[in-house]
Amino acid sequence: MTREIEDTQAKAEVLSQALSYIRRFTGKRVLIKVGGELFENEAAAKSLASDLSFLRTVGVDVVLVHGGGPQISKAMKQFRKEPVFVKGQRQTDSETLDLTAMVLLGDINRRIVSLLNVAGARSIGLSGADDSMLLVEQLDPELGFVGTVREVNTDPIDRLLEYDYIPVIAGMGVDRSGQLYNVNADSVAGKIAVAIGAEKYILLTNVPGLYETFGEEDSLISEIDSHGLIRLISTNKLSEGMIPKVESILSALKGGVKDAHILDGRMVHSVLLEIFTPEGIGTMVKNG
Amino acid sequence: MTREIEDTQAKAEVLSQALSYIRRFTGKRVLIKVGGELFENEAAAKSLASDLSFLRTVGVDVVLVHGGGPQISKAMKQFRKEPVFVKGQRQTDSETLDLTAMVLLGDINRRIVSLLNVAGARSIGLSGADDSMLLVEQLDPELGFVGTVREVNTDPIDRLLEYDYIPVIAGMGVDRSGQLYNVNADSVAGKIAVAIGAEKYILLTNVPGLYETFGEEDSLISEIDSHGLIRLISTNKLSEGMIPKVESILSALKGGVKDAHILDGRMVHSVLLEIFTPEGIGTMVKNG
Amino acid sequence: MTREIEDTQAKAEVLSQALSYIRRFTGKRVLIKVGGELFENEAAAKSLASDLSFLRTVGVDVVLVHGGGPQISKAMKQFRKEPVFVKGQRQTDSETLDLTAMVLLGDINRRIVSLLNVAGARSIGLSGADDSMLLVEQLDPELGFVGTVREVNTDPIDRLLEYDYIPVIAGMGVDRSGQLYNVNADSVAGKIAVAIGAEKYILLTNVPGLYETFGEEDSLISEIDSHGLIRLISTNKLSEGMIPKVESILSALKGGVKDAHILDGRMVHSVLLEIFTPEGIGTMVKNG
Amino acid sequence: MTREIEDTQAKAEVLSQALSYIRRFTGKRVLIKVGGELFENEAAAKSLASDLSFLRTVGVDVVLVHGGGPQISKAMKQFRKEPVFVKGQRQTDSETLDLTAMVLLGDINRRIVSLLNVAGARSIGLSGADDSMLLVEQLDPELGFVGTVREVNTDPIDRLLEYDYIPVIAGMGVDRSGQLYNVNADSVAGKIAVAIGAEKYILLTNVPGLYETFGEEDSLISEIDSHGLIRLISTNKLSEGMIPKVESILSALKGGVKDAHILDGRMVHSVLLEIFTPEGIGTMVKNG
Amino acid sequence: MTREIEDTQAKAEVLSQALSYIRRFTGKRVLIKVGGELFENEAAAKSLASDLSFLRTVGVDVVLVHGGGPQISKAMKQFRKEPVFVKGQRQTDSETLDLTAMVLLGDINRRIVSLLNVAGARSIGLSGADDSMLLVEQLDPELGFVGTVREVNTDPIDRLLEYDYIPVIAGMGVDRSGQLYNVNADSVAGKIAVAIGAEKYILLTNVPGLYETFGEEDSLISEIDSHGLIRLISTNKLSEGMIPKVESILSALKGGVKDAHILDGRMVHSVLLEIFTPEGIGTMVKNG
Amino acid sequence: MTREIEDTQAKAEVLSQALSYIRRFTGKRVLIKVGGELFENEAAAKSLASDLSFLRTVGVDVVLVHGGGPQISKAMKQFRKEPVFVKGQRQTDSETLDLTAMVLLGDINRRIVSLLNVAGARSIGLSGADDSMLLVEQLDPELGFVGTVREVNTDPIDRLLEYDYIPVIAGMGVDRSGQLYNVNADSVAGKIAVAIGAEKYILLTNVPGLYETFGEEDSLISEIDSHGLIRLISTNKLSEGMIPKVESILSALKGGVKDAHILDGRMVHSVLLEIFTPEGIGTMVKNG
């Protein structure tokens, strides 16, 4: 047997090993949340598209929810509009809202859709306004058009999954009068994960996962349960940006999602590795 | 009879008269093209939403294609970007393309979707990038990212109609590499009308219809056939803006659409009146 | 704007107003009971056929139950057979029963079916003997072949509605041995309304509705609830002929029908006006 | 072997023998035409109902077409109306037409339906007016309301067969205006047999079959083909009453029906014996 | 009427009588257990195949479970292998197991399948290894590869019945590791009868039925209920070979099977006679 | 890179690379032929079961056809029966036929079925006798019960694939009388591949593939087309055992199969590597 054959056998082993994972998730729903920053990194974006295409091909129902913070900030700068923060959240006046919608729906969403289509997965973009999918109410009058999700109408998602599409969802919602609102994408993702009965909820971030001690690379947590996560929050061991993500995970698990993952989206094929190989590459949060 | 139909019997007559028209279009597909300017007029926009909701309720499969010229120009002005015209068409560089996408998808499209949802029709927004629905190629290198439709993938439209949604489609397309292009909305509308097998193609404009003699109000043509239309073009009797509309109509009729209409979208309930009453209020172009 | 356009707009308003009513009843079942006398009046009969065709076209599942008292009496006269009344009900011997069946099924039923077919609604005639749909037992031995409904087999109705037919049902039933019985059509209508889960039960009569004081035209009741109706009966304020109708309404409401209407069937388009316009033209009995 | 098959083994043989015939007709359509006179004979009527119920139970799609000559004549006598014959056919004025409809639909049809229901086969009565099933035109102005079938709309039959009903059809039709016409039942049966794609067409009469020499019992023909049948007609060897039956058979065979049978309906279980045993008891006409 | 006609009428009566039995079992499931010895008798085997084909043709869902005791013993003799009995059961070492599988699956099962196919019923052979249909565990280590059924996976049976196949099942099972086991066929039959919701469970043996007094032909029991059967066992009135059969019947009845029959499979058409004629030819055990 | 792919990224690459192959074969049918000798090698057998399970999980419709030469010869020896060869083929008398059936169906087939079930693919065993799937006729009277396939009834295969089963088929057939015949498994495989419309036909043998010069390892052919294959035969460059395999391939390609492969079944994961990696490990025969 030559070296070539040996490598070949190793390849076969990888596929063979993946089999049990594929079997476990075929026919199940997986919700993936990704921030806007990932799409500034072309390699990461393409690798994500390829991974989601893989998931879809082996029969997993994939739903993608995306944000777009960096792109919105950039667009505001171009319009010479200064971001105002109230209670730590971006105040959203009518002009900011319009700009947000234009960036999320008219730019990021359609780019992701095209990336997925080119990677061979058929995808369609949605926002919470489509079929009034995300019914929201105002979070706080001082914040302007910032909403919080009250009801998720899963009809558009169910219909698209039925035809093997990957729905790509921008985190905006509408109230009963049809008024648009901006909504935090992590929170939207958690709510949708519960509403569609997702088996798994994956949060792609720009850190490798959660740390026992913030700042110490060695303390990366590879597995934790919801109780552990609550303890972690209560001891202030999380970075500020991680708080809404962790809260969205806790609410998803409470709502019945089996497990959640925090992965570094910048790592090539992070989703594939997390789901289809025995090795962990981020933090997995088990329900319990 | 006074301006308000006082008599309940008269009301019953109106409904009863509408019956044969309802019956004729139930289960059929109607494509409606509307320009961006209509949505600057709130009354017209709401009346259109109500009319489409009526069509949907009585079983007509409605597909809406929209443009957004005025809004794009306004956005360019805000960005202090000067429109450049080559051979009578807007040159579309990368920046203009991005702006166009943001305005069409992130602003106009989602507004129409919300208007329809509030009017009681369930609707979902689409662009040619969704499921690579509109496959285009570049029209002319000098024009930049301006495309012309080569293939229409009707899957997303068919799926949405199957669940009684009104698909709202922005006139942009993609090439095989996923690159976005701007496409003339009249031309998109005509191509989609043929691809989905529409029975009727309605163009909402801001004039009452076609005129025998341009400028003479009395010469409004209430019915014409495709031969007549070709004659009209050859004798230069049409305004310049009407040319692409008329060409899109001719190509739709050639592709098998039964008849086309040019209506004044600013007139309240123009669609309802054109389809469900015996009186004509615009120009109808019969196939033949 | 000319006078013509004004009237045109008024037409559009009527259609537009009807939309919410159409939407409310699409996919719902409505049972209409009509006496034989209506079919002596050609205009009323044609208008009813047109109204039911409208209902069917906009997606309402229509079921028609009819009687035939005047026609039966006329046929008996032709046969020189004297009607005998026992306890206020027509005694039905074997010969009378045969004559009743011949008039109801062989004459009135097939005429209604043809009227509806010509009006564009597809319809099929049924009697309680078809698939033993109305299982009855003898009401009183002295009355002979007069039955009261014990069970309704809704299979034939369900099957026909499934294919958008209007079932036209004559009020006769059979016992387990297959023996035919005559049954009061109001009572049959109420029982079927409950069995098929009708949303609405409309009784077409030859009076405008119920009166607070019988004989005083001004006292027409436009809306009442079941408690009010019971009070009305107990104070002897109803004409004798109205009693079985009112009882059939009360039993239908008790069985879960949402609301009932007593309308003057001789009024042209009475059904359309009652269902699709905000104005009331008869007496509506609400459940409650 | 005595008249009652005593031996259980012999019983088993009969069932076992029937197997290949059952298998041949399961899922196939069989049209049976029966004259009105059969229903004057209670034993024959009940035996027919039992046989059709057997056919239906083993999966044969049964359609019954019936006439009613004797009963119509009797009713006319009761009404002191003298039959008038023109060119050998009964002249049908408006009064005669009404009487015919009353007898066929209101008496015979509903009696057959009840007989079948009691015998355990679910059945529904139809006439050519239901869903305008039999579209006719006038045969000859002198004959009045006597029609000939132009088109058969098989929808009502198809729908009922789909739910394992036996449609029982009275031979009357309507023109496009909804006007009723009387139609010869043999002719209706032949037309329907072709329209529904019947495998077999069985004519129940009151003679044992066709004779080589009319009047000679020994000359009963047990099998013949269409050529033979045409020869038989051309040599005037058929009774006058047999002519329309034989013509209806020829037209059915020409339209694709596999074979036709002329049986004596008065013979108990004649249908069962003809279809499910190797012995012939009437005349079978093969296509060819 | 001649003798021929008389016999013919008698035939019709047999068919007509069978109708109510056919109707009762159409769409129901019947499990039939047959021992290997029946297939040593060609006439009995062919008659059984013909009877099952009849059942299938009239819409009964038939499942056949078979043993093969005599054939296994014969094969062991050919291999000069002496049967060893422990606690009254055949000890099954690895070699015996292989031989059993070869005889049951490779010989008897495929012969029955062919017999049925030739008799016009479409059939497919199965063993408990197919789709791990019969999950067993070892009965007793001393007995070797003798198993007892723990779970029945009815998927393969349901799928085949759906397409009107007759599944022919050999009484062998597998444990979770895929190891084959021999299982008593009576016990397998009773378990499957319950698992598939059989209406009737028929045991074909080589005796006419159960006897009140074993050995006295006159004391054949034609009907008994489960209580009676338990009494019979407790009073030692059954032959030793009958015990596992009777236990399998009791467990089937307990599991919800409506009734069970013990018939003499050597009697030609025994199944047909038992199910489709009023006469009893064996012992019927009613549930209760 | 070492023999074990250590790097997780490399793993991800393998999966990612496999994606396009998975996508190409999802929903397609692949027929795999394997000789009996493979099941004498436990590692090869388990690896094959795992590979087929992988194929099934990613949506490929797998059908397995197997032979059993070595096992049949061994069984004959045990029975002290000397194989007789006529014209190079094994003469099959009645006793040899029975033994063949017992070995193929009662031993090898059920073992493969269990291997697949344990590997997580649901499988059911079939022979050509099931639903008379392989209709054969005698090849040559001198050879006895050796048949050649005349017709393939794909119903049982289609039904099982519909429910995601892997049908495992032993190469035996029946004639119209139900008589069993032995059939060459290579020939059966090629015929079934064509009948079921297989995309790919894989022959697992115990050599690495075809050689340009028989005996010279270096001359292994990695790709050839049917013309090349015919040339190879004509120049006597194939071993004798390879001839029926190559003929079965040529007939499969002629019948429309897209491509065929000759692989060494003893090599672990040979099927997976051949289908899901870019490297070739045997000989691929392209259609053309």
pLDDT at B2 over 60: no
Structure tokens at E232: 């019979």
Closest Cα in chain D, distance from residue E57 (Å): 6
Classified as helix, coil or strand, B74 is helix
The rounded distance, in Å, linking the Cα atoms of E198 and E190 is: 10
Beta strands D259-264; D283-286: pairing state: antiparallel
Q: What do you get for the CA distance between the two ends of chain E, in Å?
A: 48
With a cut of 80, say whether residue D159 has pLDDT above it: yes
CB pairs under 8 A between D and E: 98
Closest by alpha carbon to A101, among A183, A190, A204, A203?
Answer: A183
Question: Residue F95: how many CA atoms within 13 Å on its side-chain side?
Answer: 11
Alpha-carbon distance D255 to nearest alpha carbon in chain C (angstroms): 27
Q: How high is the pLDDT of residue C127?
A: 96
Indicate yes or no: CB of F277 within 8 angstroms of CB of A8: yes
Query: Which H or E run includes C180?
Result: strand C180-182
How high is the pLDDT of residue B153? 98
pLDDT in tens, C29-87: 999 999 999 999 999 999 999 999 999 999 999 999 999 988 998 988 887 788 788 87
* Amino acid, single-letter form, for residue D190: G
pLDDT in tens, C45-58: 999 999 999 999 99
Strand, helix or coil at A224? strand
pLDDT tens, D19-53? 888 888 999 999 999 999 999 999 999 999 999 99
The residue of E5, E15, E51 whose CB has the most chain D CBs within 10 angstroms, and thus the best one to mutate to test that interface, is E15
What CA–CA distance (Å, rounded) separates B244 from F164? Answer: 53
| Mutation site for B-interface testing, chosen from A78, A110, A175 by largest number of B Cβ within 10 Å | A110
Q: What is the mean pLDDT of residues F120-130?
A: 97
Cβ contacts of C15 on chain B, cutoff 8 Å: 14-15, 18, 54, 269, 272, 276
Q: CA B273, CA E210: separation in Å to the nearest integer?
A: 84
Nearest to D54 among E5, E15, E277 (CB): E15
- Cβ distance F279 to A4 less than 8 Å, yes or no, reads yes
How far is it, in rounded angstroms, from Cα C122 to Cα E255? Answer: 50
Tokens of C72: 């039966």
For testing the chain D interface, which of E2, E7, E11, E277 should be mutated: the one with the most D CBs within 10 Å? E11
Q: Is the separation of the CB atoms in D39 and D108 below 8 Å?
A: yes
Determine C/A contact with 3+ CB pairs under 8 A as the test: no
Point out the residue among D78, D106, D123 whose CB comes nearest to the CB of C104. Answer: D106
Q: Which two tokens stand for residue A35?
A: 């921030």
Give per-residue pLDDT as tens, A105-152. 999 999 999 999 999 999 999 999 999 999 999 999 999 999 999 999
pLDDT of A14 over the 80 cut: yes
First to last CA, chain B: 38
Q: Do D and C make contact, counting contact as 3+ CB pairs within 8 angstroms?
A: yes
Contact call for residues D128 and D182 (beta carbons, < 8 A): no
d(CA F239, CA A43): 51
Question: CA F18 from chain center: how many Å?
Answer: 23
- Which residues on C lie below 8 Å from D165 (Cβ)? 131
E208 Cβ partners below 8 Å, 6+ apart? E217, E220, E263, E264, E267, E281, E282
Residues of A in contact with F55 (CB under 8 A): none
Q: Could you tell me the pLDDT band of residue C9, with boundaries at 50, 70 and 90?
A: confident
pLDDT at E69: 87
| pLDDT value at residue F213 | 81
The DSSP secondary structure of F239-278, one letter per residue, reads -TTHHHHHHHHHHHHHTT-SEEEEEETTSTTHHHHHHHSS
Q: What is the pLDDT of residue E65?
A: 98
Q: Find the Cα–Cα–Cα–Cα dihedral E244, E247, E253, E254, rounded to 10°.
A: -140
pLDDT of A1 reads: 37
User: Partners of B263 in the beta sheet?
Assistant: B204
C15, C19, C22, C275: best to mutate for the B interface, most B CBs within 10 A: C15
pLDDT for res B3: 34
> In the prediction, which pLDDT does C78 show?
82
Write the ipTM. 0.93
User: How close does chain A come to F35, measured CA to CA in Å?
Assistant: 22
Identify whether the C-beta of residue C172 lies closer than 8 Å to the C-beta of residue C182. yes
B279/C8 touch (CB, cutoff 8 Å), yes or no: yes
Q: Which pLDDT score, from 0 to 100, does residue C20 have?
A: 84
Instruction: With a cut of 70, say whether residue F237 has pLDDT above it.
Output: yes
- Contact between A11 and F59 using a beta-carbon 8 Å cutoff: no
Residue that wins the pLDDT comparison between F186 and C79: F186
Q: Is pLDDT at D136 greater than 60 in this prediction? A: yes
Tell which of D99, D102, D151, D160 to mutate to test the C interface (max C CBs under 10 Å): D102
Residue in F50, F72, F124, F135 to test binding to E, most E beta-carbons within 10 Å: F124
Stronger pLDDT, E161 or D268, i.e. the higher one: E161
Contact E57 D23 (CB under 8 A): yes
Q: Say which residues have a Cβ less than 8 Å from residue D122's Cβ, sequence separation at least 6.
A: C131, C155, D116, D163, D164, D165, D166
Q: Residue D74: CB partners within 8 Å, gap ≥ 6?
A: none
Calculate the dihedral angle through the C-alpha atoms of D141, D143, D145, D149, rounding to the nearest 10 degrees. Answer: -80
Q: What is the DSSP letter of C249?
A: H
State the pLDDT at residue F6. Answer: 52
Query: Using alpha carbons only, what angle is made at residue B89 by residues B83 and B92, rounded to the nearest 5 degrees?
Result: 55
The pLDDT value recorded for residue C4 is 55
Query: What does the pLDDT look like over A160-193, one tens digit per residue?
Result: 999 999 999 999 999 999 999 999 999 999 999 9
pLDDT of residue E6: 60
Contact predicate B129/A110, CB 8 Å: yes
Give the gap in angstroms from C-alpha D54 to the nearest C-alpha of chain E: 6
- Distance in Å, alpha carbon of F239 to nearest chain E alpha carbon: 32
Q: What's the rounded Cα separation, in Å, for the pair E106 and B54? A: 68
Give the C-alpha separation, E29 to E167, whole Å: 12
Q: Which residues of A touch F53 (CB under 8 A)?
A: 19
Residues of E in contact with F113 (CB under 8 A): 129-130
Q: Tell which wins on pLDDT, D17 or D172.
A: D172
Domains of chain A: 29-286 (3.40.1160.10)
**How many residues comprise chain A?**
288
Of E168, E61, E195, give the one whose Cα is nearest residue E113.
E168
Of the partner residues C9, C22, C57, the one whose CB lies closest to the CB of residue B268: C9
- Nearest Cα residue in chain D from C167: D130
Q: Output the pLDDT for position C1.
A: 37
Mean pLDDT of B53-71: 94
State what percent of residues in chain C have pLDDT above 70: 97
Share of chain A above pLDDT 70, in %: 97
Query: What gap in Å lies between CA B44 and CA D174, rounded to an integer?
Result: 48
CA distance D286 to chain C (A): 35
Q: Which residues pair with A125 in a beta bridge?
A: A168
What residues of chain E lie within 8 A of the CB of F165, using their CB?
131
**pLDDT tens string C96-123:** 999 999 999 999 999 999 999 999 999 9
Of B113, B118, B178, the CB nearest to A114: B178
Is residue A265 classed as helix, strand or coil in its secondary structure? coil
Instruction: Indicate the DSSP class of residue D220.
Output: B
| Set of chain F residues whose Cβ sits within 8 Å of the Cβ of E109 | 105
Please compute the mean of the pLDDT values over residues B262-268 and round it to a whole number: 92
pLDDT band at B240 (very low <50, low <70, confident <90, very high): confident
Chain B positions touching C14 (Cβ under 8 A) are 5, 11, 14-15
pLDDT of residue A6: 59
Contacts of B5 in chain C (CB under 8 A): 7, 10-11, 13-14
Residue type, C267: M
What pLDDT score was predicted for residue A186? 95
| A:B CB pairs within 8 Å | 100
Q: What is the 3-state secondary structure (H, E, C) of E87-155?
A: CCEECECHHHHHHHHHHHHHHHHHHHHHHHHHCCCCEEEEECCHHHCEEEEECCHHHECEEEEEEECCH
Q: Which stretches of chain A sit within 8 Å of chain B by CB? A: 78-79, 98, 101-107, 109-110, 113-115, 117-118, 122-127, 129-132, 155-156, 159-160, 163, 165, 174, 177-178, 180
C63 contacts C169 by C-beta, under 8 angstroms: yes
φ/ψ of residue E125, rounded to 5:
-85, 145
C11–B277 CB contact, under 8 Å: yes
Look up residue F258 and give its two tokens.
Answer: 């897209």
| DSSP secondary structure code for residue E222 in this structure | S
- Summarised one tens digit per residue, pLDDT across range F52-78 is 999 999 999 999 999 998 899 898 888
Phi, psi for F55 (deg, rounded to 5): -55, -50
**Is residue B252 within 8 Å of B260, Cβ to Cβ?**
yes
The CA distance from D261 to D282, in Å, is 7
Tell whether the model's pLDDT for residue A33 goes beyond 80. yes
Tell me, what DSSP letter sits at residue D211?
A: B
For tokens 């000890």, the residue is: E91
**Is the separation of the CB atoms in C110 and C133 below 8 Å?**
no
Contact across the interface for F12 and A120, Cβ inside 8 Å: no
Cα separation, A234 vs A237, whole angstroms: 8
Q: pLDDT tens-digit profile of B209-237?
A: 998 887 787 888 989 999 999 998 888 77
Distance from the E61 Cα atom to the nearest Cα atom in chain D, whole angstroms = 14
Cβ-nearest to E272 among D12, D51, D268: D12
pLDDT in tens, A49-83: 999 999 999 999 999 999 998 899 898 888 778 87
Q: Cβ neighbours of residue D128 under 8 Å, at least 6 residues apart? A: D134, D135, D136, D149, D169, D170, D171, D172, D173, D174, D183, D188
pLDDT in tens, chain E (288 residues): 344 556 777 888 888 888 888 888 999 999 999 999 999 999 999 999 999 999 999 999 999 999 998 899 898 888 778 878 887 777 899 999 999 999 999 999 999 999 999 999 999 999 999 999 999 999 999 999 999 999 999 999 999 999 999 999 999 999 999 999 999 999 999 999 999 999 999 999 988 899 888 778 788 898 999 999 999 888 877 888 888 899 999 999 999 999 999 999 998 899 998 888 877 688 999 988
Contact C103 D101 (CB under 8 A): no
Residues 6+ apart with CB under 8 A from E181: E92, E97, E136, E138, E145, E146, E147, E172, E173, E174, E175
Question: What residue of D is the nearest CA neighbor of C122?
Answer: D131
State the pLDDT at residue C6.
61
- Whether residue B5 is predicted with pLDDT greater than 50 in this model: the reply is no
Whether the per-residue pLDDT at F2 is higher than 50: the answer is no
User: Could you give the CA distance from residue F181 to residue F161 in angstroms, rounded to a whole number?
Assistant: 25
Which letter, b or e, does each residue of F34-44 get, where b requires 16 or more Cβ atoms within 10 Å of its Cβ? Answer: bbbbbbeeeeb
